[in-house]
Amino acid sequence: MLNRNTVFVMLTAAVVASCDAKPERVPSKDPAATVTPAVETAVMPDADDAADDPAIWVHPTNPAQSLVIGTNKQRGLVVYRLDGSEASKRDDGRMNNVDLRQNVKIGAFAGDLVASTNRDKKSIDVYGFDGASALLSPLLSIPTGFNDPYGLCLYRSAKSGDLYVIANNSDDGMVGQWRMTANGTALDAEQVRNFSVGSQAEGCAVDDENGVLFIAEEDVGLYAYWAEPAGAAENNNARIVIDSTTGTGHLTMDAEGVAVLKTPDGGGYVIVSSQGSNSYNVYDRASPHAFRGAFQIGPTAEQAGIDGVEETDGIDATSASLGGAFSEGLFVAQDGFNYDGIQEGPRKHQNFKLVPWSQIRTALKLPEPAQAAPVETAVEPAAEAAPTEAKPN
């Protein structure tokens, strides 16, 4: 007969084993091609749910020196090199989502800006970023009025040149939009818009050139809104439904991270983390945002020893040539479950996986990249590219 202490030890071991076990892969609603990471970043210093959202900074003269900024939602921001090593970090609070824009000019400020939702301060924290040193410098903390600021993305208007930060509240789907302004030699922000998507949302990204804001409502689907405040007001904050988690929709809830990848020829794609199926959906960047396929991230060969990816929160992507494996661009995904190598074993701290865009393009049979189109002088976004009608959930 087992004594009480033995039973306790056995139960404890079972609980630990269940926490370490990889989640079962739920089949995606569409056949999902498999790609593999070329690099994984150093792990988070904290256990359990820590890594969340990445943003890619492209070096202006030496693309191989580009960087990835990731959130540690237990303590701050971490900057990684393309080989996955840690370049710098800041422990400024529970940072959830992050985004950046390069070559920003607002008043006396000229440089690269990074913004992140800080759940401790219930704020949006704005930093200057020096890519040469990989250092973040605090510039501004914007009170959100939210109980729990969650998702975040930036928007630089092609029409006015204004820079906006967009963030949402974790529990009710409320979204706020702030315009970055100058206050003497410092930065400031004014809120210009507030609306609700309906229920909990997190992932968002903006197509700057076309003025389209993409938001994922986690249990429901993916939407396109006007990013320009004036356009949103004129159209009663209209949105179009791009995809859903129900019926014939291609998403499996939760719909999480969202990224916009612009191709050199002016085309591109919207990518969404379909978390429930451990996969990623790809849609045309141009309206009507046709579904182009799904992919998942599997483990590499034994020699490289990088595991696959499950339960992704945040993602980012660029088609900029970053050299080597990333000469056609880069896709970065948070890994909700991380293991050493491809063998089953104890669960490690979370990290981010870096996947060559060329692998994804080839796996989904997307067109090969074309040369960049001639630069246009007009900056008016194409009217047909922005949402123009409302559709019920």
Residue 322 is encoded by which pair of tokens? 């970053």
Supply the pLDDT for residue 300. 87
Supply the pLDDT for residue 348. 86
What's 144's DSSP letter? -
Q: 177 exposed, middle or buried (CB, 10 Å; 0-12, 13-18, 19+)?
A: buried
What is the CA angle 293-298-300, rounded to 5? 135
Question: What gap in Å lies between CA 168 and CA 172, rounded to an integer?
Answer: 9
Supply the pLDDT for residue 369. 81
Question: What gap in Å lies between CA 54 and CA 6, rounded to an integer?
Answer: 44
Neighbours of 48 (CB within 10 A): 10
Which pLDDT tens digits describe the chain residue by residue (393 residues)?
Answer: 445 444 333 333 443 344 456 566 567 888 999 999 999 999 999 988 999 999 999 999 999 999 999 999 999 999 999 999 999 999 999 999 999 999 999 999 999 999 999 999 999 999 999 999 999 999 999 999 999 999 999 999 999 999 999 999 998 999 999 999 999 999 999 999 999 999 999 999 999 999 999 999 999 999 999 999 999 999 999 999 999 999 999 999 999 999 999 999 999 999 999 999 999 999 999 999 999 999 999 998 765 689 899 999 999 999 999 999 999 999 999 999 887 555 556 778 999 999 999 999 999 999 998 765 554 443 333 333 444 444 433
Question: What 3-state class would DSSP assign to 85?
Answer: coil
Residue 192 is encoded by which pair of tokens? 């210009």
b vs e for 340-362, b when ≥16 Cβ sit within 10 Å of the residue's Cβ?
eebeeeebbebbbbbbbbbbbbe
Neighbours of 248 (CB within 10 A): 7
Question: What gap in Å lies between CA 242 and CA 205, rounded to an integer?
Answer: 14
Delineate the domains of the chain, giving CATH numbers in brackets: 24-368 (2.120.10.30)
- DSSP letters spanning 3-39: -HHHHHHHHHHHHHHHHHSPPPPPPPSS-EEEE--SE
Q: HSE on the CB side for 127, CA within 13 Å?
A: 25
